[in-house]
Structure 1
């Protein structure tokens, strides 16, 4: 099996290294990932600057690991599929992200965006993220869980272009209770900014790391994560509101004067 591995935390991130080690049990893994952290980059792509790449070796300084791209996660997948890989991958895996990508985080996540880009090109793509608390990251254990979920997804032979979002709960909160297929939570998150003034008297803001969902919709990915379940959410990138589309076709439309 040929596996393309990418992320948004950067090619040197421990989560990517841990997941790569686990995915190597399933097949040949090639890494094409950002040279630097691109968290919350969403689905942005690079247009007006060149995409520089550097071939990266494994820790033994001999074995090829893949390529570091000075661009966004979506850029990495585009380059991998169109330029860098000699053969198309059988699956694209993005992660293992430091922090969950449940709920509306899906819209901001570079990890999920990389998987979406792979699905654009009709590849099965899986985003994997680890929720953490107090900056504790047990990436090796989380990577084993992620690899097991990836195996189970692939065993079902999903159609080309299938897209999945996998989130692993805070491991320090207790044992994993199971795996649940859950819809995405779409209720609002609570966000704060830390207001400060620099030595020159200019006001600036830091985004608070306390990004939480105080009132999640029941029976969604956010609530299942809080209950110590691994969540799997099938996603799609068609943003059309089909119910409203049908209603709007009944409206009377006119063209104004030019």
Structure 2
């Protein structure tokens, strides 16, 4: 099996390294990932600057890993599929992200965006993220858990273009309670900014990294993740509100 591995934390991120080590048990892994961190880049792409690409090797200097791209996660997948890989991958894995991508975070996440880009190209794509408490980051344990989930998804031979969002709970909280397939929570997060003034009197703001979902709703990915479950959510990129489409068509909108 040919596996394309990407992320948004950058090609040298420990989460990607740990997941690559596990995915090598499943097939041939080629990495095409951002040269630098691109967290919360969403599905942005580079249009006005060249995409510089560099080959990356293991510490021995001879074992080829893949390519570092000075661009966004979606750029990486585009280049991999259209220019860099001699053969198309059987599956595209994005991660393992440092921090969960549950709830509305999928709209901001570069990790999820890279997987969405893969689904555009009719490839099975899986985004993988590890929740953590910013003190302990068990990427090796998370990668072993992610591999077991990925194996089970692929064993079902999902249809071309299938897209999955996998979130792993904080492993240090205790044993993982199981896997739940649940919808994405769409409630907004409570966010705040730290207001400051620089030495020249200009006001600036830092986004506070501590935010929470005030209305987590039972039976959604946010709630199950907090309860210690791995969550798997099938996603799609068709944003059309099909339930309201017929209603709008009946409005008789016209140019007058």
Scaled to the shorter chain, the TM-score interval is over 0.9
- Residues 186 and 217 of structure 1 are in contact (CA less than 8 Å); yes or no, is this contact kept in structure 2? no
Q: Secondary structure at the match of 2:189?
A: coil
1:45 alignment counterpart: 45
1:183 alignment counterpart: 183
Q: How far off is 1:59 after superposition?
A: 2.2
1:192 alignment counterpart: 192
2:164 alignment counterpart: 164
Q: Secondary structure at the match of 1:67?
A: strand
Which TM-score applies when normalising by structure 1?
A: 0.98
Which TM-score applies when normalising by structure 2?
A: 0.99
1:101 alignment counterpart: 101
Aligned residues, how many?
256
1:71 alignment counterpart: 71
Q: Distance in 1 between matches of 2:136 and 2:194?
A: 23
Q: How far off is 1:218 after superposition?
A: 1.2
Q: Distance in 1 between matches of 2:234 and 2:162?
A: 8
Q: How far off is 1:58 after superposition?
A: 1.2
Q: Distance in 2 between matches of 1:205 and 1:31?
A: 35
Gaps of 5+ in 1: none
- Residues 14 and 139 of structure 1 are in contact (CA less than 8 Å); yes or no, is this contact kept in structure 2? yes
Q: How far off is 1:172 after superposition?
A: 1.0
2:86 alignment counterpart: 86
Q: Distance in 1 between matches of 2:136 and 2:57?
A: 27
1:119 alignment counterpart: 119
After superposing the two structures, state which structure 1 stretch, 90-99 or 246-255, moved more. 246-255
Q: Distance in 2 between matches of 1:219 and 1:119?
A: 26
In the TM superposition, what whole-angstrom CA distance separates every residue of 1:169-204 from its partner, at most 9, and x where no partner exists?
011111000000010000110101000000100000
Q: Distance in 2 between matches of 1:189 and 1:21?
A: 34
Gaps of 5+ in 2: none
Residue correspondence of structure 1 range 48-63 to structure 2 within 5 A: 48-63=48-63
Q: Distance in 2 between matches of 1:188 and 1:79?
A: 33
Q: Distance in 2 between matches of 1:184 and 1:86?
A: 35
1:216 alignment counterpart: 216
CA-atom RMSD, angstroms? 0.6
